[in-house]
Chains A and B, each alone.
Chain A
Amino acid sequence: MTAPTASTPQTKPIKPGVIGWLGSLADAAMAAPGAYRQALRRHRRRTIILTVLLILAVIYPVINREFFQAYNRSSSFPLPFPEDAVVTFMMIFCIMAIGLNIVAGFAGLLDLGYVAFYALGAYTAAFLASPHFGSVSLVLFSNVPPGFPGIHLPFWMLVPLGFAVAATFGVLLGAPTLRLRGDYLAIVTLGFGEIVPVVFKNLSAVNLDFGPIHLVNANLTGGNLGINPIDPPRFFGISFGSSSGIAAVYLGMILLVGAIVIARNLERSRMGRAWMAIREDEIAAEMMGVNLVRTKLLAFGLGASFAGVAGVMQSSYQGVTTSDFFMFSTSILILIMIILGGIGNIWGVIVGALTLTFLDKTFLPYLGQRFQAISPDLPNPSQFNFLIFGILLVVMMRFRPEGFIPSRQRAAELRHAPAGQAIGSAAVMGDAALASEELADTLAAEQVVEVETEAAVAADEAAEAEPPKDTP
């Protein structure tokens, strides 16, 4: 993260209070055209390309409806243009990718159970905007007629509620992991990621006789069948649910813009620097006054909250949610998005999310249809999506672990791991000793070449290296 030097002139004094804040927003809005012109001057080609892409992205749903879908319907060779539902899910997954990027990309905490927070957000909306709790009736600011069974809160209330519920659980589920090392932390988060959906699935027939609570075969969560129908988002009388087509896509885009702004602001703040510091060297960060517990819990909580909002969007948009939507493979899918796209970089993970959602929901099913059209015996690639994703993971880790559009920091970290972390770095020397003895081992021939280059590097490093242990 580059910081302006003190020589950057401060254009206006910063006014305090709410008025000052509104003023700064107005200033930013008025400075935007100037900043854009400056970007045009400095990086002409890149700015133009990005502007065009942005415009295309924003008008895509309309173009799709008017031209692409009509083309697909009438042509004998349809093309894989993503439909409205897929584009809406692209927005949902982008929001989750940005959230996981805060936990894993900014703070360096590998969360393998992210889907739990997605589920929590979805069920929050399901509980609070559906006829599910039929024995009560609470209708607030919703166009559901009063007296209708169930709790019905409007979408604009559900979003912050989903945010808060997920954030709370993010802190709760993150707390036990604070003192764990990387792989153990990953396993514990994986565990929570499994337990939460299982709990939702199994609370479909609860018998509880505890004090004032008497539940007999209470269906708390709908189990496998889930909860439906869930109220769609509604603004100005227009529904933004799945039946609305384009409107839902634009609602998703608005939420995504909000997510990007929040994430960027967090990145360029005191907290963002603290996250980077603990990712680099947790002990040094603590010595410099960073409260590890609070900083890590904040990463977990804020990261989870994005998934909570995404979950609210999912269940409101689709009108239904069940525990089958929230599986371990979904956590891994989002992880792949940020790894493929570029870990640590907001734009990178967005590209990753768009790409993978397109692959998973449009392109692979499209291939399946094409294959089926050729011959019904050919396998359907969309059923083996995780075969492809698994290969993708292995290949990415091997050749480009930082992703395609990484933040420069993470790229640097992943490509030059400190020598002390390497396991078996002396394996090279062991091989050299034995290589002369192993005659028929073809591997030895490869390793001799490796040995020569690596030995040279090792010799250089040994000359500069400091003793690894602190003298007590």
Chain B
Amino acid sequence: MTVPTLTGDLRTGVLPEDAVIVRARGVTKRFGGLVAVNSVDFDIPRGAIVSLIGPNGAGKTTFFNMITGAYTPTDGEISFDGKALITKSRNRVRSKKPHEVTALGIGRTFQNIRLFGTMSTLDNVRVGLHVHMRSHWWDAVLRTPGMRAEEQASIDRGMELLELVGLETRADVWARNLPYGDQRRLEIARALATKPQLLLLDEPTAGMNSSETAEMTSFIRRLREELQLTVLLIEHDMRVVMGISDRVTVLDYGEVIAEGTPADVRANPRVIEAYLGRGAAAGA
């Protein structure tokens, strides 16, 4: 698949069906009395790098979690690559479970790193390969040739992915003994192991200084180009957002308050008000 040239209007509802990899309509999530996400419509164009931004508490991670199946929405529908993730029938909303979503081709990283700390770097990545491996427990018990071939292939593929993120020399180190930046990259390698078409990155540059951030930014761009991925980012660092996004969507109090190109969004008075308060918007 060649990365489509992403010119023109990318806003929700404008692109034809096959140019969109995720289509979300009317997605709502209520926790008791609190409405975390309120009737959000959202499209992710294929091959695009889309950023989801907004003040703390805006509902960004909740929305992520609904795409991946961790939360079931209170209302709405989401489809991925033409297949339904969230369906609604007769007022009951059903969601695919997270491991099914992963099998379909969505990978993710976490805002607070969730690696398997006492497993090696390589084994962390190999867990990511689990979903596409075929060996059963009896193959394992008998150590059939098929199983051993698959194990060796998983080691080879795991090392490839580690090379991609520059961690091939730390393959045997326990994940929790890695420095912070390496842990973030390991999380991405693990997510890539699930063979995603769509990669969800939750604050990938949190806690990084400017040179690390610049590295991560160009890395994400490389991922999109070399692996033909679509990327959805939650980000707070505006340099990253403005730097690599094809499209930016802004959430506030669970609602979409703006979307468009980075330049559009930056000048939008509602966005400024959401981040900086009414006075700042008035003065802009």
A adjacent to B, CB under 8 Å = yes
Known: A5-B159, A270-B133. A24 touches B61 (CB 8 A): no
Known: A270-B133, A471-B56. A3 touches B120 (CB 8 A): yes
Interface size on A, residues (CB 8 A): 48
Tell me if B60 is interfacial: C-beta within 8 Å of chain A: yes
How far in angstroms is the closest Cβ of chain A from B183?
12
A6-B68 in contact (CB<8A): no
Known: A277-B116, A284-B114, A284-B116. A289 touches B130 (CB 8 A): yes
B56-A288 in contact (CB<8A): no
Tell me if B194 is interfacial: C-beta within 8 Å of chain A: yes
Contact of A288 among B59, B127, B142, B172 (CB under 8 A): B127
**Cα distance, A174 to B169, chains bound together (Å):** 41
Classify chain B's interface size: 35 or more
User: What is the chain B residue whose CB lies nearest that of A276?
Assistant: B119
Residues of chain B within 8 A (CB-CB) of A286 are 97-99
Q: What 1/0 mask marks residues of chain A from 25 to 46 whose CB sits below 8 Å from any chain B CB?
A: 0000000000000000000000
Residues of chain A within 8 A (CB-CB) of B191 are 288
Tell me if B26 is interfacial: C-beta within 8 Å of chain A: no
**Cα distance, A1 to B56, chains bound together (Å):** 39
Tell me if B87 is interfacial: C-beta within 8 Å of chain A: no
Q: What 1/0 mask marks residues of chain B from 101 to 124 whose CB sits below 8 Å from any chain A CB?
A: 011000010111011111110110
**Cα distance, A289 to B129, chains bound together (Å):** 8
**Cα distance, A284 to B149, chains bound together (Å):** 27
Tell me if B131 is interfacial: C-beta within 8 Å of chain A: yes
How far in angstroms is the closest Cβ of chain A from B109?
9
Q: What 1/0 mask marks residues of chain A from 260 to 286 whose CB sits below 8 Å from any chain B CB?
A: 001001100111111011001101111
Q: What 1/0 mask marks residues of chain A from 446 to 459 whose CB sits below 8 Å from any chain B CB?
A: 00000000000000
Residues of chain A within 8 A (CB-CB) of B207 are 466
**Cα distance, A298 to B108, chains bound together (Å):** 26
* Other A-B pairs, 9, CB within 8 Å; known A14-B149, A273-B119: A3-B126, A3-B172, A283-B70, A284-B116, A285-B116, A287-B68, A408-B118, A471-B60, A472-B60
Residue contacts A-B, CB under 8 angstroms, 18 given: A1-B120, A5-B155, A14-B152, A16-B145, A16-B146, A265-B142, A266-B140, A272-B140, A280-B116, A280-B117, A284-B114, A285-B127, A287-B102, A287-B110, A290-B127, A408-B118, A409-B118, A412-B174
- Pairs A-B, 3 closest by C-beta atoms: A289-B131, A269-B140, A289-B102
List residues of B whose CB falls within 8 A of some A CB.
36, 56-62, 68, 70, 97-99, 102-103, 108, 110-112, 114-120, 122-123, 126-128, 130-133, 135, 137, 139-152, 154-156, 158-159, 171-172, 174, 190-191, 193-194, 207
